[in-house]
Structure 1
Amino acid sequence: MITGSMVALVTPMHEDGNVDWDGLTRIVDFHLREGTNSIVAVGTTGESATLDVTEHCQVISRVVKQVEGRIPVIAGTGANSTHEAFELTQEAKGLGVDACLLVTPYYNKPTQEGMYQHFKYIAERVEIPQILYNVPGRTSVDLLPETVERLALVDNIVGIKEATGDIERAKRLIANCSADFAVYSGDDPTAVELILAGGKGNISVTANVAPAKMSELCRLALAGKADEARRLNEELMPLHSNLFVESNPIPVKWALQEMGMIEGGIRLPLTPLSEPSQAIVRDVLKRNKLL
């Protein structure tokens, strides 16, 4: 089971929007050096919605080759087309990832039964650990606990990234699913509470800029050191909040650029961080001694 701090890695880009392969190498090295427990390549934060299929697979391949098995690599392979998600998951398996992360089918607004059949179809056809990803704020569809509980019985479905921030919902899943089904936070501000309630880790945006602290936060929470974990989370809370001052990954990519880690490229329809928001993010980076 993959546990701890899992960075939802950005995809570095040049100002012209092309993928910055040297920047990708730098940030992967950064996470290996700073103690990140796992890398999620080409998830939402990695701009999966605007990378073409070739780029998507190239990013996954580069990360896998660079990591060389030192930590697990999880590939974002979700799509609103079941066939496309199946093909991406199959390709990621061939590239050597440890698991795949599949977001709920966005835009189509399928029923609960439609989502169950979508995830079941892929799990039955690609033999690799698969993590569900529920983020209704971005997809306009909510994978309800009763549907997750059905899916947890399907071979190859090993966990869920629950990004609602609803701790009571997470507790229900932890209680009703088997012990080998992992519930992960997808919401940095509430991750500590989810882990203390029995969650297995956090798939994190904040970890892009503060990997060592996020790794320590998850380590403390997994060890049941609640007071220490909560103190560190309070210290990080302004960073958690202000990295969402505009749509993710706009602020976190700008923060990494300000830190000298990557160039400033981002793809339309996303646009660079506005000047008023730059001041907010710069201030919180300085307060956390990241600048």
Structure 2
Amino acid sequence: MIQDILRGTGVALVTPFTKDFAVDYDGLRKLLDFVIKGGVNYLVINGTTAESVTTTSAEKAEILDFIKKHVQGRVPLVYGIGGNHTYHVTETIAATNLEGISALLSVSPYYNRPSQQGIYQHYLHVADASPVPVLLYNVPGRTGSNITADTTLRLSAHDNIIGIKEASGNMEQCMQIAKRKPADFLLISGDDILTLPMMSFGATGVISVLANAFPERFSKMIQFGLDCNFAEASRLLYDFVDINPLMYEESNPVGVKAVLEQLGVCSAVVRLPLVEASASLKDRISKLL
């Protein structure tokens, strides 16, 4: 069952860039090998951490094809297609080669801030259009609106909607989903540092930013959580408490790309309107590393 392969640690991959802002395929190859060797359970391509809003349609297709060819089935792949124009989203789904993709991650419509009924109808169209199962993605800090627990639960009745990446930070809302959801509906954390608390009441894992840079330790932490060994999981979690805020201080993925550069995986370059991590941020990250 598809839900079984999307347990544990998914990594929201960054998109490495060269100094002249082209896609850095050598860096991407190194990143893929780094996280797979580190033990992550699946990869998430073209999410918000990938700076998907600043890659072109042609680049998206090239990146997806490159990852498929390099990974060669070693881990499952999830692909991000979302937006605030429902029919453009469904057209993009139809135009994308989703062969070899296990599921679609689709962010809630942003900026135009639809009602709950609008969000519900949007996702019905996305789920009907998608040839692969759909994961909802709730991230109010980016979208300006929240998918409520009631709306999530209404959508969970759709045969092609299999779970949600929950990054609201609202633990009571997450508990309501966990309490009332179908048994096979996935509750996936979208907030690295809150994952273990969410796992204590039913989350099945995380789609992680930190796992780009710390795949082995982060995956071990999540596996301890799945095994209900929260003492060992917490010991690893405390290693991330200080560095996690720095990942978002100058926006994501600015922080994690700075870490990856210091680890020798890929450059810290991001595309405008994001700018590379400040000297101060890089220095504080270096001291923590």
TM-score with structure 2 setting the length: 0.95
| Structure 1 counterpart of 2:240, from 236, 242, 267 | 236
Q: Could you tell me how far apart the structure 2 residues matched to 1:156 and 1:245 are?
A: 36
Confirm or deny that 1:157 pairs with 2:151. Answer: no
Q: Which residue in 2 is equivalent to 1:175?
A: 179
Three-state SS of the structure 2 residue aligned to 1:15 is: coil
Alpha-carbon shift at residue 127 of structure 1 (Å): 2.5
Return the offset for 1:59: 1.5
The alpha-carbon distance between structure 1 residues 93 and 221, as it changes in their structure 2 partners (threshold 3 A), is: farther
Residue segments in structure 2 that go unaligned for 5+ positions in a row: none
Aligned CA RMSD, in angstroms, stands at 1.3
Q: Which amino acid aligns with 1:205?
A: V
Map 1:130-279 onto structure 2 (within 5 A): 130-279=134-283
Write the letter of the residue equivalent to 2:199.
I
1:288 counterpart residue number: none
Q: 1:201 to 1:92 in 2, by over 3 A?
A: farther
> What is residue 129 of structure 2 aligned with on the other side?
125
Unpaired stretches in structure 1, ≥5 consecutive residues: 286-291
Q: Distance in 2 between matches of 1:115 and 1:276?
A: 40
Equivalent in 113, 119, 143 of residue 115 of structure 1: 119
TM-score by length of 1: 0.94
- The one-letter code matched in structure 2 to 1:246 is E
Output one character per residue of 1:167-213: Cα deviation in whole Å (capped at 9) or x when no partner. 22111101111011000000011111111211111110110110001
Query: Is the 8 Å Cα contact of residues 14 and 265 (structure 1) preserved in structure 2?
Result: yes
Give the length in aligned residue pairs: 285
Q: How far off its partner does 1:14 sit? A: 0.7
- The question of 1:55 aligning with 2:53 is answered no
Task: Give the 3-state SS of the residue equivalent to 1:236 in structure 2.
Answer: coil
Amino acid at match of 2:89: A
Match of 2:9 in 1: 5
AA in 2 matched with 1:195: M
Contact map agreement 2:11 2:40 (CA 8 A) in 1:
yes
> Runs in 1 of length 4+ with deviation above 6 angstroms?
none
1:21 aligns with 2:25: yes
